[in-house]
Amino acid sequence: MPLYLTWTRVGLYDTRPGVILPYIAFGLPMAVYLCTEFVRGIPDALVEAAILDGASYFSIFRHIVIPLARPVVTTVAILTFLGKWNEFVFAFMLVKSENLRSLSVGINSFAGSLNFNYGLQFAALVIGIAPIIVSHVFFHKQLISGFAEGALKD
């Protein structure tokens, strides 16, 4: 409720930035935590060897950290996508117009106490779950490797 009141006072209610900003604000802590813990786990010997070879901090980041962090970045991207795809409350609470509502809110509009059109409901559910299944098929290996990287420490 405080977010709704703040957004109406600031003028962000029923706007795209009004929905995107809370998604970023609530998704950023987990992403920062996962990436920070992963970077802390990179062996110091790699960084020290690059420094001895004359690499700058930017080139160390670009040539060592970023390629090593690909699994955790993929994991963060997948978890963020799934979390925001399935999110209902912000899209329902912060958006009034139908053209800005998310798919989960649209699927909810097919279900009602007096609405019994199961064909439309199931078609909407299939459309809603298809990207999740496709992303799982393509990114399952990266997701598992990202989880495994964070679970195994020396």
Domain segments of the chain: what residues?
A: 2-151
Tell me the per-residue pLDDT of 64-108, one tens digit each, with 9 for 90 and over.
889 988 888 888 888 888 888 878 888 888 888 888 888 888 888
Report the alpha-carbon distance of residue 13 to residue 32 in Å, rounded.
Answer: 27
**150: pLDDT strictly greater than 60:** no
Q: Which two tokens stand for residue 66?
A: 């970023």
One of 3.20.19.10, 1.10.3720.10, 1.10.3210.10, 3.30.390.10 is the CATH number of 2-151, namely 1.10.3720.10
| Cα atoms found within 13 Å of the Cα of residue 54, Cβ hemisphere only | 0
Residue 55 has a CB neighbour count (10 Å cut-off) of 16
The pLDDT value recorded for residue 145 is 67
The pLDDT value recorded for residue 5 is 83
Asked if 96 and 13 count as a contact pair (C-beta separation under 8 A), the reply is yes
Report the alpha-carbon distance of residue 66 to residue 24 in Å, rounded.
Answer: 22
When pLDDT is cut at 50, 70 and 90, the band that residue 32 belongs to is: very high
The pLDDT value recorded for residue 146 is 61
- Better pLDDT: 85 or 35: 35
Tell me the per-residue pLDDT of 108-149, one tens digit each, with 9 for 90 and over.
877 777 767 788 888 888 888 888 888 788 877 776 766 665
When pLDDT is cut at 50, 70 and 90, the band that residue 29 belongs to is: very high
The pLDDT value recorded for residue 4 is 82
When pLDDT is cut at 50, 70 and 90, the band that residue 151 belongs to is: low
SS (HEC) of the chain: CHHHHHHHHHCCCCCHHHHHHHHHHHHHHHHHHHHHHHHHCCCHHHHHHHHHCCCCHHHHHHHHHHHHCHHHHHHHHHHHHHHHHCCCHHHHHHCCCHHHCCHHHHHHHHCCCCCCCHHHHHHHHHHHHHHHHHHHHHHHHHHHHHHHHHHCCC
